[in-house]
Structure 1
Amino acid sequence: MERKLERQRATREFIVEFKRKREEWKAMERQRMEEENLRIKEFAKTQEKREEVAKAEKRAREQALDKVQRALTEQIKRDREEREEQELVRQELYLEEQEQAIRRRERDEMEARIRQRLELQRERDEQIQFKRLRDVEIKQEEEKFRQQLMAKFAEDDRIEQMNAQKRRMKQIEHKRAVDVLLEERRRQMAVDKQREINERVEAERIEQIRKQIIEEERIKLLREHAHRLLGYLPKGVIRDEKDLDYLGNDFKNEFKRRQTNMQNPNGWDNM
């Protein structure tokens, strides 16, 4: 009986001790949880502050970057506008130089045409004068030739020994023969003159063909080598706009761009 009571007492003590320790554990757990919650709150506050600082720094960086970007954008815009203005000025200068070059060429061509007309007129006047003098000379030569032939025929036929009727008939016969000889002489002179003209025309035609062949070879060499030598071509190799047309738009545009950049007043320096 006593043992039973002892066991019951021990059981009650165990239960009481268990409850006490459980309460202590609960108290300790509550304290631990409170401390943990406090640490979490402190960590959360710290993180929040860090995030706020990071956000502030990010905003500051973004604002600084935005400021730099705006400044760069403005600078790029100013640079572009300045380049466009410079390009416009260069284009205007180039167009003005081209117009001046065209006016100079037109003036030179007009002066050349006037000089050519004056020269042609002078040559025509000289030719007319020469022809007039030559006609007089030919007539004098023909008359002299006629007199010589008439005298020779008269001497050969002893015309002075004939009576008047025969002498007159013989003179008419001699005159006809002289006219035939003179006509033959004129015809031969005309043939010789025409041959000279034909030879001169043929020589001019051959010279024109030679010049054409030389020009074709020049254009061929330009087409083969000008693109590689752009910037190093001697002055005068590119003669005019027609030469540029032979070389294509890419070469033509680059050539003109270099002309514009160099602001060359002479028009056709081969850069």
Structure 2
Amino acid sequence: MERQRMEEENRRIKEYANTQQQREDVAKAEKRAREQALDNVQRTLADQIKRDREEREEQELVRQELYLEEQEQLVRRRERDEMEVRIKQRLELQRERDEQIQFKHLRDGEIKQEEDRFRQQLMAKFAEDDRIEQMNAQKRRIKQMEHKKAVDNLLEQRRRQMTVDKQREVDERIEGERVEQVRKQIIEEERIKLLREHAHRLLGYLPKGVIRDEKDLDYLGNDFKSEFKRRQVNMQHLGGWGN
């Protein structure tokens, strides 16, 4: 009887131990499953974060490449435009020189004709005043030479006065151009001053055209320049333009 009781108790102890072991095994399995699931989620999340980062980096690289390509196109277009302007200026200068030469020839001819008429009128007037037709041949030649010398002096004075008048016109034009250049320089200096004072606070709200070129950005420092270009890249990527 005692033996049976001991065997029964051992059996229950063994069953209890088996049950506990099974529970522990189940708990361990569930823990491993949870850890595996968490690890899977973390790996999936890490992979997604990596893909998102790579996608953003690729998009940023594409934007940078597009921006650089557009800048290169702008440089080439600007160089082409500048070349066209220089060619047009040379052609215009050549045309103006040709016109000036042609005008000078015409003007010289007109001046020569005018001087000839003036000379004839003066000679006729001097002859009439001195009644040269009533003189003998020698006196007539002497008087004609005097008249010619007087006419030449008058014509020379007239030419000098024309030269003085023309030089005055040139000087006035040069002075006008100098004054205009000074005025433009003052306006440009004031524009740069306003940019330096206000551009940093208005970054993102500056109207198109306020920042004209790379030189304007140089006035405003590297931080402003970098942020301005970054915003340009973003706006160009979105199909727009802005500061």
Give me the whole-angstrom Cα distance separating, in 2, the residues matched to 1:76 and 1:264: 23
Deviation at 1:67, TM superposition (A): 3.3
Match of 1:238 in 2: 211
The answer to which structure, 1 or 2, has the higher relative contact order (CA under 8 A, 6+ apart) is: 1
TM-score by length of 2: 0.83
2:192 paired with 1:219: yes
Give me the whole-angstrom Cα distance separating, in 2, the residues matched to 1:103 and 1:86: 25
For structure 1, the 5+ residue unaligned runs are 1-41
Give me the whole-angstrom Cα distance separating, in 1, the residues matched to 2:71 and 2:222: 18
Deviation at 1:266, TM superposition (A): 10
Q: What whole-Å deviation, never above 9, does each CA across 1:9-54 have from its counterpart, x for those lacking one? A: xxxxxxxxxxxxxxxxxxxxxxxxxxxxxxxxx9xxx9x9999988
Give me the whole-angstrom Cα distance separating, in 1, the residues matched to 2:193 and 2:26: 74
Deviation at 1:72, TM superposition (A): 2.7
Q: What whole-Å deviation, never above 9, does each CA across 1:154-199 have from its counterpart, x for those lacking one? A: 1221111110001001111111111111111111111111111000
The structure that has the greater radius of gyration is 1
Match of 1:174 in 2: 147
Q: What does 1:1-271 correspond to in 2, within 5 Å?
A: 62-263=35-236, 269-271=241-243
Kindly tell me the number of residue pairs found equivalent between the two proteins: 226
- Closer, same or farther: CA 260–100 of 1 in aligned 2, 3 Å: same
Paired AA for residue 92 in structure 1: E
Give me the whole-angstrom Cα distance separating, in 2, the residues matched to 1:118 and 1:174: 49
Match of 1:37 in 2: none
Deviation at 1:65, TM superposition (A): 4.0
- Closer, same or farther: CA 50–266 of 1 in aligned 2, 3 Å: closer
- Closer, same or farther: CA 54–224 of 1 in aligned 2, 3 Å: farther
- Closer, same or farther: CA 82–135 of 1 in aligned 2, 3 Å: same
Paired AA for residue 161 in structure 2: Q
Indicate conservation of the 8 Å contact 2:235/2:242, yes or no. no
Give me the whole-angstrom Cα distance separating, in 1, the residues matched to 2:79 and 2:239: 15
TM-score by length of 1: 0.75
For structure 2, the 5+ residue unaligned runs are 1-15
Cα RMSD of the aligned pairs, angstroms, is 2.7
- Which sits farther off after the overlay, 147-156 or 57-66? 57-66
